[in-house]
Amino acid sequence: MAVFRDARVKSIDLIIAVLALSLFGIIAGDLGLFSGLSLETRQVIGLTEFGANIAIAIYGAVAFHRIAWSAYLVLSIVGLVLVSAATPITAVWLVSKVLHGAA
Q: Evaluate whether 75 touches 50 at the Cβ level (below 8 Å).
A: no
The pLDDT value recorded for residue 102 is 61
> What residues does each domain of the chain span?
11-102
DSSP secondary structure, 61-83, as one string: HHHS-HHHHHHHHHHHHHHHHHH
- pLDDT value for 28: 87
Helix, strand, coil content of the chain in percent (nearest 5): 75, 0, 25
pLDDT of the chain, 103 residues: tens digit per residue = 455 565 577 889 999 999 999 999 899 888 888 888 898 998 899 899 999 999 999 999 998 888 999 999 999 999 999 999 999 999 999 999 999 876 5
